[in-house]
Every structure is written in C-alpha cells, then in structure tokens.
Amino acid sequence: MTGTVLVVGASIGGVRTAQALRSEGFDGRIVLVGAEPHAPYDKPPLSKQFLSGAWELEKVLLLTAEQAAADGIELRLGSPATRLDVAGSRLLLADGEALDYDKLVVATGASARPSPWRPESGVHVVRTLDDSRHLADALRQDGPVVVVGGGFIGAEVAATARGLGHDVTVVDPMPTPIGRVVGPEIGSIFAELHHRHDVATRFGLGVEGVEGVAGNLRVRLTDGSTLNAATVVVGIGAVPNDGWLADSGLAVENGVLCDEYSRAVDAPDVFAVGDVARWFHPGYREHVRVEHWTNAVEQAVIAAHNIAHPDDLRPHSPVEYVWSDQYDWKAQIVGRPVLGVRHEIIGTLEGERPRGAVLYQDDADRLCGAVTVNWPRALVQCRRLVTGHAGYDEALDRIRALVSAGPAMAAVPATSADG
C-alpha cells in the first residue's frame, strides 16, 4: 500500500505504529507528529529508573532521528496537533502547518489528571519527561515527601523517593492501594509492602488542601490532621488527550470511539491506539479504554496491519497485562481480577524474598485474572490460561505444579515489556 499515513502522538503507541507499518510492508510516506520537542521516549521509567537517576536519557529513548531516517519515518516534533479535518483529510498543527493524509492514527495518549491543589510551587505530577526532571530536581533537596494517590504511579514514586532517602507518606481515600484492581484483601498486602520499607500510609483519607511553597508545604487531610512536606506528588489518574478532536466530528467519549479493528466510528480512514482509544473489545462485547503500556504496543501492531492490509482486517481482543516495580517487588497483573468472586494465593507474598501468585475465579468458574509477584514463570502460565479461558481448578493445578520447580524457574523472562 502507498499513500501517506500520519501518526499523531510520539509516545509508545505512536512510535510502535510507525515502525509496525514498515514491518507490515507499507511503503508509503509515514509522518510521526509529536507535541513535545524531545525525541520520542518511554514513560514507565519516568517514575522509577529515570527519576532516581539510575538511567540516563539515552536509555529511555524510543526512536532517535537516525533510527527514524533509517526506517523512512518523518518526524514533526514540538508542534502539537490542534485540529483534524476529517472531510478534507487534513491535520493542522500549532505552528500553522497543514498535513494531508490518506490514513491517520490518533496516538496522543493521556495526561496526568491535573492536581486540584496549586500552591506557589512544590506540587508535582509525573507523566512527561519534563515532569520527571522537575521532580528529580525536587528530590535532590532534603525533606519529607507526601504522595497523593496509592495507585501504580504513586507507589512507584513513593518507592523511588524512599530509595533516595526521603521520609515518605502515601495518602489515598481508598482503604487499600489498588484495591479497585486486585480487591481489598490483596490490596492490604500492597499496603504492608509500603510499611516494610518504612513508608507511612494514610489510607481511607482524602486531601482537603495543600498550602505553602516548595520545601515548606502543609497537606490538610479530611480527618483534620496535617502532614508537613518539602515535596508533594499527585498521582490521581489520567485523562485521554482527546480535547483537540472536539470539533473534528469524530465520536469522542472518554477517548476516540473505535470498532474492533481500531478504526474510528464513522471515519474508516482514522484509527486510534493506546490510552486515547476506546474500542469495541470482541471478547468483552463492550467498548473499553485501557491505560497499559502493553496494550498500546499490541494495538499499534493491529492498527498498522489493518492499514497495510485492508482486505485482511484483524480485531484487537487482548487480555490486559500491566506490571509495576515497587521496592523489591515486580508485581504483574493479567486479565481482570476485579471480576473475581474468590481468589487463592499460591506461594507467598510475605517475607524478605516473596514469590507468589494470586488466582481469581469468576462466576463461570474460570480463571479471570491473576497477580504475580517476583514469579515470571507463573506470570507466563497465567497469561496463557486467562487467554485460553481455562477453568479455575485447572489453573490452580498448573500454578501449584510450578512451586516445586523452585526459584530457578523464576529466571525465565515473563515478557519483553520491562518498566
């Protein structure tokens, strides 16, 4: 196939789409548009290795100018898209440039949900390279850190800040961290993980206000207490970057509404991938939006195939997978644990060297999800079992059989994704 494909968004979904187009044999023009002036970079390390200083910028880059040139990918960086003219097949950029296209892929991702508290300085979010750099500068100064939000980003920032020697407190209105994902009982184990590393937690409480300036902040909680902080980090979710499409005529409802092939509804020349896409999942029979790195990569490959091979369309029907590095844990979650009506722990999630898995049973007696900790072999097996709609008893037997294999089996990598 020839013609011009515009990929709008230079994060993982956009970069992988552009690269996959070439792998799928597309020999036309590919233009990758990015709002930021930086070379495309990966985001998971921004709350971990890059934030701590363990990794330099070069290690988080997804695509250099030289690599883009070698693949025949044109880069338009530093000027965000401002308007999409679907009828005219034209994209307008903030610098006034207009780009025509035959196919267009929306891969603009999501932004950190803005902090409702805006003192003079000292309150941070972590979503972009510049966010991470600014927070890293703040963490080079002494003083306690308060993290608002006990989800994955909040937990990873807390672990990084603690590793840099700060006193850290995590605040979240939920009674346990990531309880919405793994349930309250397993969520309490994640709370204990913070405590084992001397991180204080104030779960079940909200934040009423943040006052002061960087280095001297006061965080007021809903029980009337106050926490002192030099730095506050807010991690309270993300929102899709779809505002620029408001007058495009595309169906935009918590992301770009797409069919199972990742094509925008009523606009077959427009596709969407990653955090900004809300597509019809054939397995779940509903529209979903998934903010996972792995989903963005997999959906990019599907969209690229469907653009390059319009007579051989493939649906995007993934099993969710996400991982999080917290302290000495690599926690990996597959499927939908939230649908579980019961669960069982195999191995252990306690002690100095935890290695275990939590398997969740749905109301049809199937394995609907799993959480593994420091056990890649079990994660590989669980992904296969969830994908294959395995019965719960079968899944328990398979994972129990891995226990006797011992820690050496855990050296088998679970996935090419690494945060």
Is the confidence at residue 33, as pLDDT, over 80?
A: yes
Same domain, 292 and 334: no
Domain limit, last residue, from 210, 236, 262: 236
Same domain, 230 and 244: no
pLDDT in tens, 119-160: 667 999 999 999 999 999 999 999 999 999 999 999 999 999
Same domain, 106 and 243: yes
Q: Count of domains in the chain?
A: 3
355-384 mean pLDDT: 96
Q: What contacts 120, CB < 8 A, 6 or more positions away?
A: 212, 213, 214
Same domain, 124 and 230: yes
Same domain, 130 and 219: yes
Quick one: tokens of 186? 């397993």
Q: Domain of 355: which CATH number?
A: 3.30.390.30
Same domain, 120 and 231: yes
In a domain, 316, yes or no: no
Domain limit, last residue, from 236, 263, 289: 236
- Between these two residues, 2 and 381, which has the higher pLDDT value? 381
Distance CA 71, CA 192 (A): 47
pLDDT at position 406 is 62
In a domain, 320, yes or no: no
Quick one: tokens of 78? 């530093």
Same domain, 211 and 353: no
Q: At 271, phi and psi to the nearest 5?
A: -120, 165
In a domain, 318, yes or no: no
Classified as helix, coil or strand, 74 is strand
Q: What contacts 404, CB < 8 A, 6 or more positions away?
A: none
Same domain, 59 and 13: yes
Distance CA 323, CA 297 (A): 14
Q: Confidence class of residue 411 from pLDDT cuts 50, 70 and 90?
A: very low
Q: With pLDDT > 90 as the criterion, what percentage of the chain qualifies?
A: 90
Same domain, 153 and 194: yes
Mean predicted lDDT score pLDDT of the chain: 93
User: DSSP class of residue 363?
Assistant: T
In a domain, 319, yes or no: no
In a domain, 323, yes or no: no
H, E, C per residue of 22-47: HHCCCCCEEEEEECCCCCCECCHHHH
In a domain, 56, yes or no: yes
Domain limit, last residue, from 236, 271, 299: 236
Q: 89 near 269, Cβ under 8 Å? A: yes
Q: Domain of 303: which CATH number?
A: 3.50.50.60
Is the confidence at residue 418, as pLDDT, over 60?
A: no
Same domain, 303 and 338: no
In a domain, 322, yes or no: no
pLDDT in tens, 231-260: 999 999 999 999 999 999 999 999 999 999
In a domain, 377, yes or no: yes
Same domain, 232 and 134: yes
Same domain, 101 and 181: no
- Between these two residues, 121 and 272, which has the higher pLDDT value? 272
Question: Which residue range forms the structural domain that includes residue 266?
Answer: 4-111+239-308
pLDDT in tens, 81-120: 999 999 999 999 999 999 999 999 999 999 999 888 886 6
Q: Confidence class of residue 54 from pLDDT cuts 50, 70 and 90?
A: very high
